[in-house]
Structure 1
Amino acid sequence: MALSDLLARAGNACEFCGAVADLEAVDVLPAGEILLCPICREDVAADASHWRCLEGAAWSAEPAVQLAVWRKLGQLDAPWAVEAREGMSLSDEVQGWAEVVAAVQHRDSNGVVLVAGDSVMLIKDLVVKGANFTAKRGTSVRRIPLVADNPGQIEGKVEGQRIVILTEFVKKT
């Protein structure tokens, strides 16, 4: 979806918290793209109270937003987040995606289960295709998002670029 279409759909605001600065499209597999601010993309550290915005975003009619909110609420350890997630009314399509995602487990090279937000370390030098650099062994990747439909892949920022990393080349730190 074009950025202009996302901006129009979202009313030029983050689809989680309503912020208007530095918005970027984020892919929510398999649902599509949503528009998020740096804090909601987790490019910038957030105060735990920031995520209370998800209680309102949970009511979005947009399937991609519903799925992203459902996933994020599942990562939070607060009682209000559990209650908000359980209270969500997901469309049939989103419910199907959520059930598939819940069945997928990501494991590092040692078989340890990874969850979104974990930190991992590269155990091998990885040539990053299309980016002209090599991610060196020992590099720490913080606050990883998981690739929803592929248990063998995670995402992370290395040298300022968001890349897909195979789980067989990382260990949880």
Structure 2
Amino acid sequence: MILEQQLQQRSQGECEICKSAEPLELYAVPPQSAQSLDNSILICTTCLSQIEKRDEMDKNHWRCLTASMWSEVPAVQVVSYRMLKRLSAEGWAADNLDTMYLDEETLAWAKAVNDDEADEVVEIHKDALGSPLLAGDAVVLTKTLDVKGSSLNAKLGTVVKNIRLVEDNTDQIEGRIEGQVIVILTKYVRKQN
């Protein structure tokens, strides 16, 4: 808890990347495994979800890097460098990369994780409310569904336990209703808590 208090004090309760005051999370900048004041930052959920490629990149959100790249905190510099590299097709990001200065140790840290290899968003299954779905979760149907090729009618409010994720399509899951395995669109389910 002391680390989080130190980070709160250093960041003045704002995201160390975009200065947002929305809820902040502690982020240990990879490839560091142990969290310390030197290798951790406090960032908002918007920045974190895009850094971890859980959400689609909002290029305009990252214009904040123009300021954060000059931070005196090496971990902030590393994240700024990596995000500028990912956005280097944008003229403003390429210009910032050209003017950014990192000492040798910080640059080595920034290059230690190959962020270039997959710039696409890691696709995850989400329910109708945007909550992530995992294999084995239980969901509730938010609409009565007619099952194609069957006389089965899956009623609104039906609980489907132990779902499976369809690998090639994040809009679909598989579940068992009345002993029959069916494919269900994720937009018609809500994760059961």
The TM-score with structure 2 as length reference comes to 0.54
Once the two structures are TM-superposed, the CA of residue 48 in structure 1 deviates from its matched residue by 2.7
What residue in structure 2 maps to residue 154 of structure 1? none
Structure number with greater Rg is 2
**Structure holding more strand per residue:** 1
Post-superposition Cα deviations, 1:85-143, rounded to whole Å, max 9, x if no partner, equal 121111221112234335x875xxxxxxx23x433479xx979xxxxx99745274xxx
What residue in structure 1 maps to residue 143 of structure 2? none
In the aligned structure 1, how far is the partner of 2:113 from the partner of 2:101? 17
Aligned residues: 128
Select which of 118, 121, 124 maps to 2:121.
118
- Identity of paired residues, percent? 29
What residue in structure 2 maps to residue 79 of structure 1? 91
In the aligned structure 2, how far is the partner of 1:35 from the partner of 1:7? 7
1:7 aligns with 2:8: yes
Considering only aligned residues, what root-mean-square deviation do their CA atoms show, in Å?
3.4
Q: What are the within-5 Å matches in structure 2 for residues 58-97 of structure 1?
A: 58-76=69-87, 77-97=89-109
Unaligned runs of 5+ in 2: 33-38, 126-133, 137-161, 171-190
For the residue of structure 2 that corresponds to 1:16, the secondary structure is: coil
In the aligned structure 2, how far is the partner of 1:135 from the partner of 1:15? 38
Unaligned runs of 5+ in 1: 107-113, 128-132, 141-159, 161-173
What residue in structure 2 maps to residue 34 of structure 1? 41
Matched AA of 1:88: M
Q: Contact conserved, 2:14 with 2:20, CA < 8 A, in 1?
A: yes
Structure 1 71/134 Cα, relative in aligned 2: closer, same or farther at 3 Å?
A: farther
In the aligned structure 2, how far is the partner of 1:39 from the partner of 1:51? 10
The TM-score with structure 1 as length reference comes to 0.59
Structure 1 100/38 Cα, relative in aligned 2: closer, same or farther at 3 Å?
A: closer
